Amino acid sequence: MNKLSKLSLTVVALGGAIWLGTIFDLPASNAAAVGTQPGTSEDPVVTKSYVDQQIQKALGGGVTAPPTTTTPTTPTKPTTPSGGDSSNDEVKVVTIKPGEKLMAKAGAEFIVRNGKAVVYSSDSNGVADLTDGKDVTNGQAVGNNHLMSFPRDGRGIMVQDGLKSNLIVMVRGGYTVQ
């Protein structure tokens, strides 16, 4: 065989392979397109309620009616616990002068917005710094813009010793200034 006949045979074989590949590829690509395209007419997206209705029909139960609505009731306002100053979710801005202590009621939250603050605690336990995920004990600094949670009474914050500037604190919950 000469070179020309070998080249012709190679071209015919490649052409035939390409032609056969396109014929056998069409059904595979169509099946793949249907399986990967949710929301088309061949593969619709349906809701759970539609599927439930179809199951009920298939079981012979028909479609059940939606539950009837009852007369709405008016919500009642929860009672506020006694003994707490500003014990609701209202946020108050409080200014603390050097020498004063901002004492929290149980469950109160403070955010120091301006100034240098330290924790005051009457015992060895501290205050939860929810921003850093740490416990801050008596005398340790409180970071500005950190959310502090006071689990019990008897704890609070005050201006760092030696400073003359005030603290600006956002307070949610009960508190007293001493």
| Domains of the chain with bracketed CATH | 3-59 (no CATH), 91-177 (2.60.120)
Residue percentage of the chain with pLDDT more than 90: 31
Task: Give 98-119 pLDDT, tens digit per residue.
Answer: 999 999 999 999 999 999 999 9
DSSP state of 116: -
Task: Give 34-74 pLDDT, tens digit per residue.
Answer: 555 767 777 777 788 888 888 888 888 655 555 555 556 66
The phi, psi pair for 96, rounded to 5°, reads -115, 125
Of residues 29 and 161, more confidence is placed in 161
Query: pLDDT at residue 143 above 60?
Result: yes
Question: Considering the chain, what is the average pLDDT of its residues?
Answer: 80
Per-residue pLDDT band for 4 (boundaries 50, 70, 90) equals confident
- Say how far apart CA 89 and CA 115 lie, in whole Å: 24
Task: For residue 120, give the nearest of 145, 134, 100 by alpha carbon.
Answer: 100
* Contacts with 91 (C-beta within 8 Å, 6 or more apart), sequence order: 170, 171, 172
Q: Which letter, b or e, does each residue of 17-40 get, where b requires 16 or more Cβ atoms within 10 Å of its Cβ?
A: eeeeeeeeeeeeeeeeeeeeeeee
Per-residue pLDDT band for 82 (boundaries 50, 70, 90) equals very low
- The owner of tokens 């009837």 is 68
pTM of the model: 0.50
Residue-level length of the chain: 178
Of residues 166 and 34, more confidence is placed in 166
As a whole number, mean pLDDT of residues 109-135 equals: 89
Task: For residue 102, give the nearest of 90, 86, 89, 88 by alpha carbon.
Answer: 86
* CB of 175 closer than 8 Å to CB of 103: yes
Exposure of 106 by Cβ count < 10 A (0-12 exposed, 13-18 middle, 19+ buried)? middle
> Which amino acid, one-letter code, is at 156?
G
